[in-house]
Chain A
Amino acid sequence: MKKVVIIPAAVLLLILVAFATTGAYRVPTLEIEFVKERPAVVASVEYTVDGLTCRGKSRGFAGMISGVEGVVSLTTYVRTNTAIVEYDPALTNPVEIETAFEGPIIHEGEEDFLFKAKK
């Protein structure tokens, strides 16, 4: 019954393959353009955000940065809690955007801090 080792070996190998290949075909969870016309110069910043765990939360995140003048687009990847924000460097900067999404969301009097950039 030596062939029994094929089972744990196949399990281990296939799990390793699954983890090793996930990065190869990333599909964004959410892609949003906030402006009708893109500015001539666009910079981009990538955040790893605690709390960015699903599509619904990606939408909440988009809502929080949408008010920042100069934010051009948002792309999220929830597997890695990644948010990539494009912005007009003449109008805003990464610190201002971070302050916007870390800001409190007010739920009927309660303060609820949903997102926190990982440093």
Chain B
Amino acid sequence: MSEFVVNKTYAEINARIKAGEAVVVTAEEMIDIVEKDGPVEAARKVDVVTTGTFSTMCSSGAFFNFGQTIPTIKAQKVWVNKVQAYAGLAAIDFYLGATEPAEDDPLNKVYPGEFRYGGGHIIEDLVAGKKVFLEAKAYPTDCYANRKCKREMTLADFPHALLCNPRNGYQNYNCAVNLSDKTVYTYMGTLKPKCRNANYCSAGQLSPLLNDPLYRTIGLGTRIFLGGGIGYVTWHGSQHNPAAPRGKNGVPLRPAGTMMVQGDLKQMSADWLRGVSIQGYGCSLAVGLGVPIPILNEEMARFTGVSDAEIFTQVVDYGHDYTNGIARTYGEVSYAQLKSGTIEVAGKKVPTAPLSSYVKAVEIAELLKKRILEGSFLLAEPVASFPTVDFSFDK
């Protein structure tokens, strides 16, 4: 016997999608539905809730295979547009990381560095259909005699290109301030001295893992919106930490779960994969990500009904604490407060700025909703779950 009143399976939901009968809403729309109808009624009514997030995700990159040369080559070093890739794989495979800067980048020698071009920009250029210049060096062997290769290539010329991001979609993230007396340039943006601004980076109520806080439905094999195309969750992401402290609603109060995601780069678009340059920090890639959450029962309805006012994070000092590995918080704030434009830190009003695009997060959730309603996107049942912790609303 199930502990739930409402019980739906993936197969039932997919059948409804195929029949054009599924009810699909965004995580934003779900808030009102659960509040008005209660979780049981909401679970009866709604089949799928779509989520979305679009922001810089540094642990991203892509695997490529560039096709053989004649004579054949076993590439030892590979550069694309002067950005070094990792080629310590089979002959013509390499991995290009999003944060790798161009080899001639002055980095932070001219502080704060601009980091104009790097791995993330190459990924954007490729999906935008631009030509890139590939250079490979090799030592010759009996089976691979070539020593070098230089080629202009477009994404279509690569026999294989796979976006493969070991950590995306962080479930919650710190709100960053700077308590030191000089400006710091961080991956959380430019932070003025003496706590004069606060930056945060999460889609909050629209963020995938904040809508499935215990990873009940997001697991290995979950089909997702990735970079404009279709991708899959292929493992829990690096640094995945289900044991982080949680509120009564199961939502973590600090960075917790993460996802590893993959997808065929060739069907993605430059609208949803953007090379970024973060002043004083480095290059990276902004990734558009959306996860559909099946409303299998009233518990999932309750989870997806979460609103910004019920999601909290910690204020962390990036002027001193973060760099020195000091785990200290300067207060807990909700995403409703963060999004209002001002929070209070130690009795002082501090203006906030988002780094994650809420506008694009809404767009992704809407796009995903549209694709499911059209029947062009079906849900995939995970084949294994992420590591998690025990939780129940009643306890």
Tell me, yes or no, whether A binds B: no
Residues of A bordering B, CB below 8 Å? none
